[in-house]
Amino acid sequence: MRKKLQYAPSRRIVWSGLKCALVSAFVLGGLALLWFNSLSESDAIKDARRMLRYGEYSGPDRVAFLFLARRNLPLDFLWGSFFEGAEEDTFSIYVHSEPGFAFDESTTRSPFFYGRELKNSIQVKWGEASMIEAERLLLEVALEEPANQRFVLLSDSCVPLYNFSYIYNYVMASPKSFVDSFLDVKEHRYHPKMSPVIPKNKWRKGSQWVTLIRSHAEVIADDEHVIAVFEKFCKRRPPIDLSKGKLNYKLQKQHNCIPDEHYVQTLLTLKGLESELERRTLTFTVWNQSKTSTETRGWHPMTFSYADVRAEKIKAIKEISHINYETEFRIEWCQVNSTSVPCFLFARKFSRPAAMRLLSEGVVAPFNVASLLE
Ligand X SMILES: *[C@@H]1O[C@H](CO)[C@@H](O)[C@H](O)[C@H]1NC(C)=O
List C-alpha distances in Å: 352 to 61, 69, 347, 359.
31, 15, 13, 10
Q: Which is nearer to ligand X, 167 or 270 (CB)?
A: 167
Contact string (CB under 6 A) for ligand X, positions 117-156, x = contact: ----------------------------------------
Residue 337 found at the interface with ligand X (CB under 6 A): yes
Question: At its nearest, how many Å lie between ligand X and the CB of residue 363?
Answer: 9
Mind giving me the DSSP string for 216-256? HHHHHHH--HHHHHHHHH--PPPPP-GGGTTHHHHHHHS--
Pick the binder of ligand X from 46, 60, 84, 166 (CB under 6 A). 166
Question: At its nearest, how many Å lie between ligand X and the CB of residue 142?
Answer: 20
Q: Which is nearer to ligand X, 82 or 112 (CB)?
A: 82
Q: State whether residue 33 is helix, strand or coil.
A: helix
Residue 215 found at the interface with ligand X (CB under 6 A): no
Pick the binder of ligand X from 302, 317, 323, 341 (CB under 6 A). 302
Instruction: Quote helix, strand, coil % in the chain, to nearest 5.
Output: 45, 15, 40
Contact 268, 219 (CB under 8 A): yes
List C-alpha distances in Å: 293 to 144, 258, 296, 298.
45, 19, 8, 9
Rounded to the nearest angstrom, the gap between the alpha carbon of residue 229 and the centroid of all alpha carbons in its chain is 18
Question: Given the rule CB under 6 A, which of 97-105, 153-161, 259-267, 284-292 is the region that contacts ligand X?
Answer: 284-292
Q: Which is nearer to ligand X, 144 or 276 (CB)?
A: 276
Pick the binder of ligand X from 55, 175, 199, 239 (CB under 6 A). 175
Dihedral in degrees, nearest 10, Cα atoms 332, 335, 341, 344? -60
Question: Given the rule CB under 6 A, which of 37-45, 67-75, 159-167, 268-276 is the region that contacts ligand X?
Answer: 159-167
Question: Given the rule CB under 6 A, which of 64-72, 74-82, 92-100, 163-171 is the region that contacts ligand X?
Answer: 163-171
* 252-257, Cβ contacts within 8 angstroms, sequence gap of 24 or more: 255/189, 255/191, 256/127, 256/189, 256/296, 257/189, 257/190, 257/191, 257/230, 257/233
Q: What is the largest CA-CA distance in the chain?
A: 106
Question: At its nearest, how many Å lie between ligand X and the CB of residue 38?
Answer: 43
Pick the binder of ligand X from 165, 327, 340, 368 (CB under 6 A). 165
Pick the binder of ligand X from 94, 162, 190, 284 (CB under 6 A). 162
Binding positions for ligand X, rule: CB under 6 A: 85, 162-163, 165-166, 173, 175, 288, 290, 292, 300, 302, 337
